[in-house]
Amino acid sequence: MGACNNSSSYFNTIAKNDIPLKKPQKGDWLFNHQERIQTLTDFQNSNPLRPTRQLNKIYLKHIGEFSVLEWEQIKLTREYLEKFFQVKTLLQSVVSSNIIPPHVRRLSQQHEQISAPYLRDTVVAMERPKDAIAILGITEMDLYPDDKWNFVFGLASYDKGLAVSSIYRFHQKPLTSKQFKLSLERLLKTASHEIGHMFGLTHCIEANCLMNGTNSLAETDRSIARLCSKCQQKLNANLKYDNRKRLKALAVFFNQNKLDKEFQQMNADLKITE
């Protein structure tokens, strides 16, 4: 185990489980966005956010009103993110949507949307804990990034340690137990994707990976919770965690929550690195 844990041999080994990206189809993220590969050197030269003795916690800030089942998803997301990044993750108190001013609200397709940059840079940034390396706002309101876009699932800043994501499109209202698992999968992937950006990962264009960009809910559902070998290597270079300890924790979480596809992905990496 030791020889295949925190060395290059671990990443070379799990690379065998990487699945190359298929050619993007019309409507896919990469069909409309030209992005470049982020090498390990690129990543290191970008000077990504890195936890320190003083800044060593991830916080989740809830914005708006949530049902009992939605609260359960947020609590599970906190647990998941702590295992995913191997960084202590805490919940902040709820922030009312009443503080959001009219000029960052708009009507789109008969429902209200909120400016994602405003929510991220103003509301999420409010009352920042002194030990926060990253804060993710989670809202039940729909988001838009600017006037040219219809919506966005989430938006992160690489240098401020601030991000926001929305559960608005993850399930029909009200959330039911029948929708719970699929909606949870979407939230886990979106939340870890946005925090991945905060820790310096750009969109991955080399393999099926959590850090793939997505243009639609269908594309999000096709994406996976696993980081490819190269993105795992970059994240580990930043956060310095034990790779197999992380995999084991994630496998247990997925198994306990009956997320079978995700469990199989983690288990495959565990088995190949034994």
- CATH no. for residue 252? 3.40.390.10
Active site residues: 194
- How many structural domains are present in the chain? 1
* Domain boundaries, position 244: 11-272
Report yes or no on 237 lying in a domain: yes
Structure confidence by residue, pLDDT tens digits, 190-234: 999 999 999 999 999 999 999 999 999 999 999 999 999 999 999
Report yes or no on 5 lying in a domain: no
pLDDT value, residue 2 = 41
Average pLDDT over residues 118-130: 98
pTM for the predicted model, two decimal places: 0.95
SS3 call for 38: coil
Report yes or no on 252 lying in a domain: yes
Report yes or no on 3 lying in a domain: no
Average pLDDT over residues 133-137: 99
Report yes or no on 82 lying in a domain: yes
Report yes or no on 1 lying in a domain: no
Q: Which band of pLDDT confidence, cut at 50, 70 and 90, is reported for residue 6?
A: low
Structure confidence by residue, pLDDT tens digits, 31-63: 999 999 999 999 999 999 999 999 999 999 999
In this structure, are residues 47 and 184 in contact, taking their beta carbons and an 8 Å threshold? no
Q: How far apart are CA 162 and CA 164, in angstroms?
A: 7
